[in-house]
Amino acid sequence: MIGVRPPGSDVVWFRAGNFLVAVDPASVDSARDQVLEGPVEMHVSLTDACGVGCPACYVDARPDGATPPLATILERVRAIAAEGVRTVAFGGGEPLLRADLYEIAEEARRLGLVAVITTSGFGPSGADVVHQLAHFDQVNLSHDGVDGGYAAVRGRDGSERVAGLTTRLVDAGVRVGWNVVLTRNNFNMLRATVAAAAELGVADVQLLRVKPAGRATDLIYRSLRLTAEQVAALPGLLAELVAGAPSIRIDCALIPFLLSIDATDEVARNFAQRMKQTGVFGCEAGRSLAALRTDGTRAGCSFEPRAEASHAPAFHQALPAPCNTCTLQEVCRGGCRIVAARSGDPEGRDLECPRVLAHRDRP
């Protein structure tokens, strides 16, 4: 088998069907298994074009955004497969504006990649859409909440459109996930949103922390980020949601919010150990994760500025206080680098982390 060990990682990732499994490096049989070093997952942008105009779009997608030709996309997919990448997550912009998604998905799967695609659902809506998307291992639809949650985040209500496409895909046997950008404006709708996803047969709901990137300027970002009260309530809410269906996934930027600041050291140690055992970590930029833009440049994650190398791994090796003594440091890795970059903190800390705030504000 071919596994991948990201730089500085405590685990080796192997593909098992359409899933990735984290394995202790000590248990890897070097005579049987080949272990490559590099990212496990690559986010590949298929287009910067989109006409929806969401106010917090992290790529600042526009109707006239760049769209690489099919030959270029296929060449890039072959190159990242050769690196040992296991999962390729296609996005945009709005991928549904392309008419060649079938060819892209087929090539990725031919190369042994888990092929995932994210779409808002705003694009062509005919029968061919389901045919195109059915060739991906999973289709993630952007849905920021029922009962007005979607409109509160994106400025227009596309919830019924997403629900309709969800039904069509599930009926066609396609595995569907919902991506929910968690903000102060849709936080209170999260229970109802997860319940709606379960009713429609959605396989998992991924919660994403809103980030100050693209059109989410400082003013827009501050109007959307979670309040301190919501951050404090999140661990209990997640504990409630993970007990049911569908599965709940979180992005790496939410790790600082997962454990109550009032948790004892023993609870924190046990939490950190469980996260490590299941391969759940904080910032993965430049380690397990990388992103490929439409112009071919790479970044540590989809939200980082265009760069050949991410600065995140270097930060992880020299965490400032209080991160360097925090029980969660190995799994949290100092919080979200994108949020930290906009915070103005001279030490590069994620100033929305409750533990960082308590350290900063202490007498």
pLDDT at 7: 60
d(C-alpha 175, C-alpha 166), whole Å? 9
Round to whole Å and give the CA distance between 341 and 358.
19
d(CA 172, CA 195): 21
Q: Which residues contact 193 (CB under 8 A, 6 or more apart)?
A: 143, 144, 145, 146, 149, 178, 180, 186, 205
Domain chopping of the chain, boundaries: 2-308
With a cut of 50, list the residues of the chain below it in pLDDT. 1, 18
Domain 2-308 in CATH: superfamily? Aldolase class I (3.20.20.70)
AA letter at 201: G
In this predicted structure, what is the pLDDT of residue 49?
96
pLDDT of residue 12: 59
336: amino acid identity, one letter: C
pTM score, whole prediction: 0.89
d(CA 40, CA 20): 9
Give the gyration radius of the chain's Cα atoms.
20
Can you give the pLDDT at residue 24? 67
Position 14 scores a pLDDT of: 61
CB-based burial label for 246 (10 Å; 0-12, 13-18, 19+): buried
Structure tokens at 18: 């359409």
Instruction: Report pLDDT for 341.
Output: 87
Which pLDDT belongs to residue 124?
75
Place of tokens 């895909």: 169
Residue 216 in tokens: 């989410």
Please count the other Cβ atoms lying within 10 Å of the Cβ belonging to residue 338: 25
| The pLDDT of residue 305 | 74
Instruction: Please count the helices (runs of H) and the strands (runs of E) in the chain.
Output: 13, 13
**CB hemisphere CA count around 304 (13 angstroms):** 24
Does residue 212 have a cis bond before it (omega within 30 degrees)? no
Q: What pLDDT score was predicted for residue 19? A: 52
